[in-house]
């Protein structure tokens, strides 16, 4: 039976480090085994940040490599780059859309009644 996982998403502040058109080829990511395609059945936290902040938090990297994401299993914590950098990918664009609805510290957030500029 499918049990959805609860994710808490936080964001690391910081400027974007790479433009979307320079996003890595999806073929560079090793696919997860099929038995792990269902979401975890326990709550976990997702932190989104600039590629530079994710690299710094997940490091150290092998020489000549940049860390794009990481998971700390014991803490049930995932660090991922800001999805808004990957507008050419459907899922990233969807996540970027949804994170725009989250209120910022100043109370501003996007709603569907506000035109997109």
pLDDT 10s digits, 20-44:
456 667 677 778 888 888 877 888 8
d(CA 109, CA 105): 10
Q: Which pTM does this prediction carry?
A: 0.67
d(CA 11, CA 72): 16
Higher pLDDT: 27 or 101? It is 101
pLDDT (tens digit, 9 = 90+) per residue, 47-75? 999 988 999 999 888 888 888 899 988 88
Neighbouring CB atoms inside 10 A of 92's CB total 19
Higher pLDDT: 115 or 70? It is 70
Phi, psi of 22 (to 5 degrees): -100, 10
pLDDT bucket at 13, cuts 50 / 70 / 90: very low
| Per-residue confidence (pLDDT) for residue 1, from 0 to 100 | 43
């Amino acid at each position: 039976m499918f049990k959805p996982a609860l994710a808490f998403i936080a964001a690391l502040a910081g400027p974007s480090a790479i433009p979307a058109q320079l996003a890595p080829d999806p073929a560079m990511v090793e696919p997860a085994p099929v038995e792990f395609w269902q979401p975890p059945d326990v709550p976990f936290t997702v932190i989104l940040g600039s590629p530079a902040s994710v690299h710094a938090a997940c490091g150290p990297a092998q020489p000549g490599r940049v860390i794009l994401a990481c998971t700390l299993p014991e803490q049930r914590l995932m660090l991922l780059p800001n999805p808004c950098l990957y507008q050419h990918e459907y899922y990233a664009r969807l996540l970027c859309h949804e994170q725009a609805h989250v209120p910022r510290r100043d109370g501003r957030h996007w709603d569907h009644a506000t035109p997109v500029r």
